[in-house]
Structure 1
């Protein structure tokens, strides 16, 4: 295996639905204003307000990656990045929930057409929260599976009509078979336990299923789903559903982190540009140290943006047939590293912003907390994905880390 990085800088060939005239931006200033108006309510009530969810639906943002054959728009990952980033400028919780829901609709494109029609046939804006970690258990039965479990971090759970959940099929003496299932709301119990340092308005609480019957057509082998090799992923107008899921998810999370970092840096610049140092009696804006902090943080966020753009090119290549373990390792690491760059950028300016920035209601404080929380997502684990990527740079197999 070559130790040379894969280039992701090639332009789009249109195979993933590009319209050739820039990104398809659904979150305009009017929609953004509605999201901002509900941000405080979301934070206080630990879930997305009805008005915020309605704004996302009315903007058409929820159907960006719903398959066209099921009534959706089947756009590009780059359109998802643009819309999630834009939403985060107004409210991190709304952006995060949008990111999760668009991601799950994208993954349902790799499941059976019968399921796609079931979920989206009546409503192409159907809301599908979920938790991908295989923490549930599935037992085979006549016509399908009986599923039990408790799944944490189910963002937007209260709005769910269907739930995409990871499960294990246990067999004595064998490695568990991993299965992803889709379960309707009536078979799910929501445990309102979401109390967290950041992304408080996302309602990312636990959901529970007890002996829920899941017919076979609502399931997919996790290896096929995560690897972008489901038989259903190729039955679409575009190649976007053949994108490997785990590197793709890194870009999804990075999109939210990017918008939050931009919003936080804008607030920091406004704050530091107008405050006086109460002990020195001079404007904070005269401090050379603050100038350097802002310069470095802005450059880190710009670097994250460029990394995301390059990674989108890698994912497009993979979807169009040029897939490899090396490409996946690089793409997953670059997406994860973009998240880390956004976290570092906000940490640097928050440290310098002074005591008045730490109160609730401070946009800088909120974006710092939200990005800190986003950086805890499994796809942002730089130790594991860094090991895989580093091995490929030495011409080695990336190892057992999921890619």
Structure 2
């Protein structure tokens, strides 16, 4: 099936690429970069059709994010992060969907999901407080998903712990300016968020466990297999796709730069077999990372499309595939950037920006391999992984 969003992005590739330095200088997406994403329909790729979305296959979504990130890392990252939020909003109460998309189907939703707030139950909902880091693309969003822990009557964490996803309009939270000062992905504007005594009605709250176990999508009556993907497969997809796309962008700029480059020894790159070998090996590794991520997304989709739930073991291996794909692509990128020469590190050379962006993307919590690799190895050995934090990213 044709992907008109990818076609629209391809037609405006030069524009997206040219806005990269502006995004970085602003510390957020340039308004024009956000406009391009809106006009291309990127953020509506996983949005329900009833609200003007496309309900695309996750593979199409990931391929589009890779393309954007290969043009500019920050634009691709925002597209990947903000682009997955309509997927979960499809599970939400129709009342909040109408509030968000009723008048403007291009309304964007920010996050983060990290449970850094406390939601104290009151009549009709919750009183919510907290502070969060890393709200990517937040300047261009009018609503937000925030992770929180269920509180007790005194506002302390309830026992046993229970995690919630709460949905708030822009008027109920503060974006902390100058809170995003980092070495890479500067253009994502991933700023801090503060919520003080905001009332969140019941219908704007989704229990996290119901998102993870798939019951929320079933209760919402959703039939498209897209919405029955495991959260651990869908949520990381745009983030990992953007990191691989950034590595592809670094490779493309490296190739263009090396084509006519002469080393200090007087040897042209085209005549240096060692550099040529490194280029080929890196290109093959990045291509393999792409193929692994896309294949994993397709396999997960095929499982749920068949009517079967994805098992915990399959989820663990799927997460291992995602994490390894990101690390594989960045390691390969490092090999070619190290052979790009000193001038590649000048701020007017995009190679160094892609290099910085990729490493910051790799630092995201979903790409930490420790517990993911540990749990996936145990499942393949036929050993039940311990319950608790180790399973939280699966």
TM range (shorter): over 0.9
Gaps of 5+ in 2: none
2:323 partner SS: helix
Q: Structure 2 matches for 1:169-248, cutoff 5 A?
A: 169-171=150-152, 174-192=159-177, 193-231=179-217, 234-248=220-234
Q: CA deviation at 1:398?
A: 3.6
**In 2, are the aligned partners of 1:134 and 1:179 still within 8 Å (CA)?**
yes
Q: Which residue of structure 2 aligns with residue 299 of structure 1? A: 284
Q: Which residue of structure 2 aligns with residue 61 of structure 1? A: 42
Change (3 A) 1:290 1:23: farther
2:133 partner SS: strand
Q: Which residue of structure 2 aligns with residue 340 of structure 1? A: 327
1:164 to 132, 145, 162: 145
Take 1:118 and 1:354, find their aligned partners in 2: how far apart are those partners?
52
Take 2:311 and 2:65, find their aligned partners in 1: how far apart are those partners?
28
Q: CA deviation at 1:21?
A: 4.9
Q: Which residue of structure 2 aligns with residue 11 of structure 1? A: none
| Cα RMSD for the two superposed structures | 1.7
Between stretches 197-206 and 119-128, larger displacement belongs to 119-128
Q: Does residue 1:289 correspond to 2:274, yes or no? A: yes
Q: Which residue of structure 2 aligns with residue 115 of structure 1? A: 96
Query: Structure 1, residues 195-222: CA drift from partner, whole Å, max 9, x if none?
Result: 1111110000101100111000100001
Take 2:225 and 2:114, find their aligned partners in 1: how far apart are those partners?
25
The structure, 1 or 2, with the larger RCO (C-alpha pairs under 8 Å, 6+ apart) is 1
Q: Which residue of structure 2 aligns with residue 128 of structure 1? A: 109
Take 2:99 and 2:270, find their aligned partners in 1: how far apart are those partners?
57
Q: CA deviation at 1:349?
A: 0.9
Q: How many residues align?
A: 383
Query: Structure 1, residues 246-271: CA drift from partner, whole Å, max 9, x if none?
Result: 22223221211121111111111222
Q: Does residue 1:250 correspond to 2:236, yes or no? A: yes
Q: CA deviation at 1:23?
A: 7.8
Between stretches 63-72 and 337-346, larger displacement belongs to 63-72
TM-score (normalised: structure 1): 0.91
2:224 partner SS: coil
Query: Structure 1, residues 368-391: CA drift from partner, whole Å, max 9, x if none?
Result: 111101111111111111111111
Gaps of 5+ in 1: 1-19
1:344 partner SS: helix
Query: Structure 1, residues 14-38: CA drift from partner, whole Å, max 9, x if none?
Result: xxxxxx4568525433322221232
1:40 to 13, 16, 21: 21
1:43 partner SS: helix
TM-score (normalised: structure 2): 0.93
Change (3 A) 1:173 1:56: closer
Take 1:45 and 1:396, find their aligned partners in 2: how far apart are those partners?
49
Take 1:26 and 1:149, find their aligned partners in 2: how far apart are those partners?
41
Change (3 A) 1:268 1:338: same
1:101 to 82, 100, 108: 82
Q: Which residue of structure 2 aligns with residue 313 of structure 1? A: 298
Q: CA deviation at 1:142?
A: 0.9
Change (3 A) 1:318 1:109: farther
Which has a greater percent of helix?
2
Q: CA deviation at 1:182?
A: 0.5
